[in-house]
Amino acid sequence: MKKSRLPLFPVAILGLALLVTGLPAETISLTVDATKTPQKFLSVQLVLPVKPGPLTLYYPKWIPGEHSPGGPIANLTGLHFEADGKPVPWQRDLLDVFTFHVDVPAGVTHLDAKYNYIESAGASATDKLLILEWNEVALYPAGTPAEKLMYQATILLPEGWKFGSSLPVENASGNKVEFKPISLDLLVDSPIITGQYYRAVDITPSGEPIHHEIDMAADSEEALNMSPAIQKAMTNLVAESGKLFGARHYRDYHFIFGLSDHVAHFGLEHHESNDSRLPERVLIGPDAGMSLGGLLSHEFMHSWNGKFRRPADLTVPYYEQPMETDLLWGYEGLTDYLGPMLAARSGLWTPDQYHQYMASIAASLGPARPGRTWRPLLDTAIGEPMPGGRGGWLNWRRGTDYYDEGNLLWLEVDTVLRRESKGQKSIDDFCQLFHGGANNGPEVKTYTFDQLVQTLNQVVPYDWAGFLHERLNSTSPQSPTGGIENAGWKLTYEPEPAKLSGRRGNTGDMYSIGLQVGDDGMVSDAVVGSPAFEAGISSGMKVIGVNGRVYRHELLEDAIKAAKDNAKPISLMVVIDEYIQTANVDYHGGPRFPHLVRDDAKPDMLDEIIKPRIEAAAKQ
C-alpha cells in the first residue's frame, strides 16, 4: 500500500549494499522464542534467501519515532550464521557497529542466522509480561527499502500467556503464533504485547466502523482493573479523534499498554497501534485519567500526525539512513498540543487539569529556562540525535523542548486561526485538511515546512512563515505565552502550588530560589543565574542541611517562606563530590508556583478549545 517517497539509495551510504544485486523476492522468516522472557533472554532464528557472494546485513539503527540512532545493538548477542548446516563467518563493519558482513558460499540459497536479544535494564520484559518491538530482533539485508522486504514472523510465548497486536495473525495454536507475511516497515510498526495477566478492552464508540481496543498486560491481575469511567473516557477519546481529523488511516487500532514498575516508562507511536508503558498501579490509582490522558492520547494522535503526515526529511527508506529532525516541532510539538487537548475533550482530564498543565509548561519555559537565551526552539529539534544530555542541567541545555514549546506554539497558531477568522476557523479545520483524506490503511504522506505553511494559509491567510520563523529562532527569555494570552488567560505565580498530578511531576523550587531538589536532597537542576546557582549550587550536588538542620524538603519550603520577612540568606549545606560547602542563598521573594488565571478583558478561548465535540448522548 505504501508508495516510494524519497530517492532510495544515496550512494555514499549504500556503497557496500550495491554489491548485492537483486535479492530473490522471497519472504524472510523470523522466529522469536520468547519462552525465556522472565530471564530477559530471547532466542531468534532468521532464515534469509540469499545468493552466493558478499552480503551486508543491518541491525535497525534509526528507529521511527525515536528520532535518533538508538537501536539497541549492544543487546544483540550470540550471533551465528549457518548455510546448509555449516558455519559461515561474519565480521562487523569497521565504521558502523550496526552493520555485519558475511560471504555467502557458492551454491547456497538460504542463510540461517541465530542470535539472542537481551532484555537488559528491564526495559521491555518482566517475569509476567513482554512488549516486543520487532526492530529489536530483526536483521535485514542491505540494498532493498524496508517496505519491499517481506517477513513472516512467528513468536513462541511462555506457556499460558495471551497476546495482543495490530499485526494480522495467520495461525495461533498452543503457545505458537504465526503472523501473516508483512513488509519490514509494517512489522517494525506493529509491536506485540504478551503476558500472564492480560486483558483486551474494546473502546470502539457506537457507530464507529473501525475497531479500537486496549491490549493490556500487567505485573498483576489486579492492575488490569480499568474503571468503567476510564473505559468510557478512552472510548470518548476515539470518538473525539474522529471528530477532530474526520478520517482514520488504519485498518484497526490497538493501544498496547504495559503496566509494570520494572519496564522503562515511555510511549512509542505506530500507525495502527501505540506502545505505552506506565507504572503497574496506574489504572487502580487516583491519577489514572491524568496519566492515560498524558501519554496514550499523545501516542494516539501520532497515528495522524507523525505516522500518516510525516516530515519528508524524517521519512527514510530503511533504518540505517540518518533522519533530519528539524521539523520535530511539527511532528512532536503539534502532537503534544493535540494530545492534552483531546485528553480534555474526552474527559480523561478535567478543564482545571488542562489549565494547570499548560501553566506548568509555560512556566518551565520562562526565565527558569535560561537555555532559551542561547538555544532557539529550532535547535532543540535539530539537535535531537545528540548523544548524552541526560545528566541534569536541563534549564541550560534545554533538551527536548520542541515538545512543550511546540505545544505552546501550536496553541498560539490555534488562537491566531480563531482570531483572524473571527471564530470561524480553528486547529480542527487545519487537522481536517492536513490529516484527512481517504483511509488507505497505514500510509505515509510526507510534508515540508512550505507545505505546512501552505495548508495553514488555506485555512486562514496570514504571514505563517514569518510567524513560525520568529518563534522557531527566538532567544527571548520570556515564557512563550502568546497563545495563552490570546486565549484569555494569564500565567501567574502564587505562594501555593497547584494540585497537578501526572506526567510532569513536582517543579520543586525552580521559580523561587531556582532549584529542583528531590526528597533525598539530590539537585537535578539549578537555574543558571538564579539565587541558588549564584550561591554555588548546581546539578548533581546534594543538599544535606537547611539553616543548620538536616535537610528535609519541608524545611527548605519553610526556610523560603521565612526568608521573605528578613534579610538573612537561606543557608544550605551541600555536598560537592566529597566536600561539604555552605551556600548562602540570597532570596527573599517567598514561594512561587505557576497558575493559570482568567483575563476577564478577553473571551475564554481555552475552554472553547477543550470543549467536547461529540454529542452528550453519545458519551453516555
How many whole angstroms from its chain centre is CA 123?
A: 15
Angle at 249 between CA 243 and CA 250, to 5 degrees: 115
Q: Show the cell assigned to 353.
A: 487539569
Closer CB to Zn ion, residue 158 or residue 442? 442
CA distances, 515 to each of 99, 289, 368, 527 (Å): 44, 29, 9, 6
- The least distance separating Zn ion from the CB of residue 196, rounded to whole angstroms, comes to 30
Q: How many residues does the chain have?
A: 620
Closer CB to Zn ion, residue 303 or residue 415? 303
Beta strands 197-202 and 192-195 are unpaired
Closer CB to Zn ion, residue 196 or residue 297? 297
Q: What is the largest CA-CA distance in the chain?
A: 88
Closer CB to Zn ion, residue 298 or residue 592? 298
- The least distance separating Zn ion from the CB of residue 458, rounded to whole angstroms, comes to 25
Closer CB to Zn ion, residue 332 or residue 412? 332
- The least distance separating Zn ion from the CB of residue 301, rounded to whole angstroms, comes to 8
Question: Cell 497558531, residue?
Answer: 413
What is d(CA 432, CA 459) in angstroms, rounded to the nearest whole number? 10
Closer CB to Zn ion, residue 254 or residue 307? 307
Closer CB to Zn ion, residue 332 or residue 534? 332
Closest C-alpha to 338, from 245, 446, 460, 436: 245
Per-residue exposure over 367-399, b if at least 16 CB sit within 10 Å of its own CB, e if not: bbbbbbeebbbbbbbbbbeeeeeeebbbbbbbb
- The least distance separating Zn ion from the CB of residue 275, rounded to whole angstroms, comes to 12
- The least distance separating Zn ion from the CB of residue 143, rounded to whole angstroms, comes to 31
- The least distance separating Zn ion from the CB of residue 533, rounded to whole angstroms, comes to 31
How many whole angstroms from its chain centre is CA 488?
A: 30
Closer CB to Zn ion, residue 334 or residue 573? 334
What is d(CA 92, CA 97) in angstroms, rounded to the nearest whole number? 6
From 317-325, 326-334, 343-351, 413-421, give the range in contact with Zn ion by CB under 5 A.
Answer: 326-334
From 134-142, 286-294, 324-332, 562-570, give the range in contact with Zn ion by CB under 5 A.
Answer: 324-332
Closer CB to Zn ion, residue 266 or residue 374? 266
- The least distance separating Zn ion from the CB of residue 411, rounded to whole angstroms, comes to 17
Q: Show the cell assigned to 20.
A: 548485492
305 pairs with which residues across the strands? 309
CA distances, 332 to each of 55, 255, 381, 608 (Å): 37, 19, 9, 23
Q: What are phi and psi of 31, to 5 degrees?
A: -115, 125
- The least distance separating Zn ion from the CB of residue 346, rounded to whole angstroms, comes to 18
| Whole-angstrom Cα Rg for the chain | 26
From 124-132, 277-285, 332-340, 538-546, give the range in contact with Zn ion by CB under 5 A.
Answer: 332-340
What is d(CA 267, CA 543) in angstroms, rounded to the nearest whole number? 33
From 52-60, 75-83, 270-278, 333-341, give the range in contact with Zn ion by CB under 5 A.
Answer: 333-341
Closer CB to Zn ion, residue 166 or residue 335? 335
What is d(CA 417, CA 487) in angstroms, rounded to the nearest whole number? 11
- The least distance separating Zn ion from the CB of residue 298, rounded to whole angstroms, comes to 6
Q: Show the cell assigned to 71.
A: 537501536
| Helix or strand holding residue 549 (H, E) | strand 549-550
Beta strands 253-259 and 212-218 are parallel
CA distances, 469 to each of 450, 474, 483, 571 (Å): 12, 8, 16, 44
Q: Show the cell assigned to 550.
A: 538536616
Letters for 334-373 (x = contact with Zn ion by CB under 5 A, - = none) are: -x--------------------------------------
Closer CB to Zn ion, residue 198 or residue 403? 403
Closer CB to Zn ion, residue 157 or residue 296? 296
Closer CB to Zn ion, residue 128 or residue 298? 298
- The least distance separating Zn ion from the CB of residue 303, rounded to whole angstroms, comes to 11
What is d(CA 46, CA 53) in angstroms, rounded to the nearest whole number? 19
- The least distance separating Zn ion from the CB of residue 269, rounded to whole angstroms, comes to 6
Question: Cell 521559580, residue?
Answer: 511
Phi-psi region of 527 (alpha: psi -120 to 50; beta: other; left: phi over 0): beta
Letters for 442-481 (x = contact with Zn ion by CB under 5 A, - = none) are: ----------------------------------------
Closer CB to Zn ion, residue 339 or residue 569? 339
From 36-44, 120-128, 328-336, 546-554, give the range in contact with Zn ion by CB under 5 A.
Answer: 328-336
- The least distance separating Zn ion from the CB of residue 576, rounded to whole angstroms, comes to 37
55 pairs with which residues across the strands? 102
From 309-317, 327-335, 435-443, 497-505, give the range in contact with Zn ion by CB under 5 A.
Answer: 327-335
Using CA of residue 311, residue 317, residue 318, residue 324, what is the dihedral sign? negative
From 79-87, 252-260, 330-338, 436-444, give the range in contact with Zn ion by CB under 5 A.
Answer: 330-338
Concatenated DSSP letters for 526-538?
A: E-TTSHHHHTT--
Q: How many residues bind Zn ion (CB under 5 A)?
A: 2
From 287-295, 325-333, 347-355, 415-423, give the range in contact with Zn ion by CB under 5 A.
Answer: 325-333
Question: Cell 473501525, residue?
Answer: 210
- The least distance separating Zn ion from the CB of residue 64, rounded to whole angstroms, comes to 11
- The least distance separating Zn ion from the CB of residue 331, rounded to whole angstroms, comes to 7
Closer CB to Zn ion, residue 185 or residue 332? 332
Closer CB to Zn ion, residue 276 or residue 335? 335
What is d(CA 512, CA 592) in angstroms, rounded to the nearest whole number? 5
What is d(CA 217, CA 128) in angstroms, rounded to the nearest whole number? 8
From 49-57, 166-174, 236-244, 331-339, give the range in contact with Zn ion by CB under 5 A.
Answer: 331-339
Q: Are 219 and 259 in contact (CB under 8 A)?
A: yes
- The least distance separating Zn ion from the CB of residue 67, rounded to whole angstroms, comes to 9
- The least distance separating Zn ion from the CB of residue 293, rounded to whole angstroms, comes to 14
Positions touching Zn ion (CB under 5 A) are: 332, 335
